[in-house]
């Protein structure tokens, strides 16, 4: 991803106040000089220091980005405001991040940590600490920072939910984001729970028939998130916590410059909500740095998302009738793919070789599925097989009936029971 229009070594300034002892004089009272009170030392705003250092880091990163070595299409797959978005999971991996950027980021984190420990109630510093620790892959430290946070309102819970999501602790992340939603004002909550950025046109028309807060809309949201799970047998809904983590990342960017030169705007917000935050950055093609040339300072930055990244929300015909939809439509890349998500535990999604049969036993459905993944070359000692059934009609009240087998064979059968009806 790159902006449609184009876009220092990190240093810490220390304020040193030196105090000298005044010499003693043996003077008569009438000869004593007038002593003026010493001016109080001016307090330096810790957030101002942090913001200055963060901006310096992003400028330093921008000027030291490695060159883009992928394949840029002639035409954008999608234009989002000032951004040209394209998806190509077959491109070469982005160039490794230069050591100078890594060192500068570590230095920035050290500065933020020092200021944050002295100012645990500063929401901006706490947020940027979690942001750059996550960027460095230090998510356990990010969680510790979130739990030390003393900022007012729901921000600390949002940071905790973000860090827990990054650690793959999705049940706890859902709990943290549940506290965030409970503490929000109605308008904020409606913005955070809205599915609009992820929906195709057909689904959006149905979704917008009801307004935020109406039971019908909340049931629809719960239904969509249940159907959007990548692994139905895994505790917690990582698709939903990914959605809230993206909203948290948007908050990181609102008052803190990213690598793009033009600053945060609604276009960048939409890109983050739909496709996630970047995992790597490159200098765009044909964009060299030329000393003394102001135009070359407008660096064209290309950001890289995690790949493979699959359809975030199933299309409308799956949401409307999951029991009769063909499985080929659930996660394949047929356009339009409005939003994407790359589950960290699912590096590849494949169609499953299988046969299935359903038998009625009174008021119970007996479902038998025979599967074969032997041609994929998986290690059966690490294979988990799951058959999950649900009526799929009642939002949060949807009940799942499942059969889960650990250390499953590469070829085998699964049997699950559920109430008779569409499943």
Q: What is the pLDDT of residues 229-247, one digit of tens each?
A: 888 888 999 999 999 999 9
Per-residue model confidence (pLDDT) at position 72: 77
As a whole number of angstroms, the distance between CA 197 and CA 354 comes to: 34
Please report, for residues 19, 262, 368, 373, 418, the alpha-carbon distance to residue 299 in angstroms, rounded to integers and kept in the order given.
Answer: 46, 10, 57, 47, 57
Least confident of 49-53, 79-83, 315-319, 365-369: 315-319
344 exposure class (CB count in 10 Å sphere: 0-12, 13-18, 19+):
exposed
DSSP code at position 403:
E
How many CB atoms are closer than 10 A to CB 148? 14
As a whole number of angstroms, the distance between CA 66 and CA 69 comes to: 9
Look up the pTM and report it. 0.84
As a whole number of angstroms, the distance between CA 288 and CA 295 comes to: 10
Helix axes 186-193, 170-183, angle to 10 degrees: 150
Per-residue model confidence (pLDDT) at position 392: 66
Q: What is the pLDDT of residues 313-355, one digit of tens each?
A: 988 888 887 777 766 666 566 677 899 999 998 888 888 888 9
Per-residue model confidence (pLDDT) at position 103: 97
As a whole number of angstroms, the distance between CA 423 and CA 421 comes to: 6
Average pLDDT over the chain reads 84
The mean per-residue pLDDT over the stretch 275-287 comes to: 86
Per-residue model confidence (pLDDT) at position 24: 34
Share of the chain above pLDDT 70, in %: 83
User: Under a CB-based contact definition with an 8 Å cutoff, are residues 324 and 20 in contact?
Assistant: no
Q: What is the pLDDT of residues 97-153, one digit of tens each?
A: 999 999 999 999 999 999 999 999 999 999 999 999 999 999 999 999 999 999 989
Helix axes 46-63, 123-135, angle to 10 degrees: 30
Question: What size, in residues, is the chain?
Answer: 423
How many CB atoms are closer than 10 A to CB 363? 8
Cα dihedral across residues 59, 242, 330, 372: positive or negative: positive
| Residue in the structure block whose two tokens are 């036993």 | 361
Stronger pLDDT, 24 or 171, i.e. the higher one = 171
Per-residue model confidence (pLDDT) at position 287: 52
Asked if residue 296 has pLDDT above 70, the reply is no
How many CB atoms are closer than 10 A to CB 90? 8
Per-residue model confidence (pLDDT) at position 266: 93
Per-residue model confidence (pLDDT) at position 90: 84
Instruction: Give the largest Cα separation in the chain, rounded.
Output: 112
Least confident of 35-39, 86-90, 212-216: 35-39
């Amino acid at each position: 991803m790159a902006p449609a229009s184009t876009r220092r070594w990190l240093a810490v300034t220390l304020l040193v106040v030196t105090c000298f002892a005044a010499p003693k004089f043996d003077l008569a009272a009438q000869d004593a000089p007038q002593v003026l009170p010493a001016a109080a030392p001016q307090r330096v705003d810790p957030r101002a220091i942090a913001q200055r250092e963060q901006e310096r880091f992003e400028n330093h990163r921008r000027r030291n980005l490695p060159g883009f070595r992928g394949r840029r299409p002639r035409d954008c797959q999608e234009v989002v405001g000032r951004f040209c978005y394209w998806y190509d999971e077959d491109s070469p991996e982005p160039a490794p991040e230069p050591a100078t950027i890594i060192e500068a980021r570590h230095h920035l984190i050290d500065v933020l940590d020092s200021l944050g420990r002295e100012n645990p109630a500063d929401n901006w510093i706490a947020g940027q600490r979690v942001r750059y620790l996550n960027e460095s892959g230090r998510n356990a430290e990010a969680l510790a920072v979130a739990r030390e946070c003393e900022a007012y309102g729901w921000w600390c819970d949002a940071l905790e939910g973000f860090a827990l999501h990054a650690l793959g602790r999705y049940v706890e992340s859902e709990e943290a984001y549940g506290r965030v939603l409970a503490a929000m004002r109605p308008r904020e909550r409606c913005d955070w729970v809205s599915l609009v950025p992820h929906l195709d046109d057909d689904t959006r028309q149905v979704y917008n028939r009801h307004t935020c807060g109406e039971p019908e809309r909340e049931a629809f949201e719960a239904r969509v998130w249940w159907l959007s799970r990548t692994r139905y047998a895994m505790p917690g809904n990582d698709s939903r916590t990914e959605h809230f983590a993206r909203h948290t990342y948007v908050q990181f960017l609102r008052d803190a410059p990213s690598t793009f030169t033009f600053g945060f705007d609604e276009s960048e917000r939409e890109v983050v909500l739909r496709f996630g935050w970047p995992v790597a950055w490159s200098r765009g093609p044909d964009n060299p740095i030329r000393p003394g040339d102001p135009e070359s300072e407008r660096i064209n930055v290309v950001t890289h998302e995690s790949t493979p990244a699959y359809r975030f929300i199933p299309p409308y015909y799956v949401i409307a009738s999951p029991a009769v939809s063909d499985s080929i439509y659930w996660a394949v890349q047929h356009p339009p793919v409005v939003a994407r998500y790359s589950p960290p535990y699912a590096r590849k999604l494949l169609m499953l070789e299988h046969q299935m049969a359903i038998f009625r036993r009174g008021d119970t459905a007996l479902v038998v599925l025979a599967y074969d993944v032997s041609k994929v070359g998986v290690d059966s000692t690490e294979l988990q097989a799951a058959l999950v059934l649900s009526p799929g009609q009642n939002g949060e009240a949807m009940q799942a009936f499942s059969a889960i087998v650990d250390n499953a064979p590469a070829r085998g059968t699964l049997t699950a029971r559920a109430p008779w009806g569409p499943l």
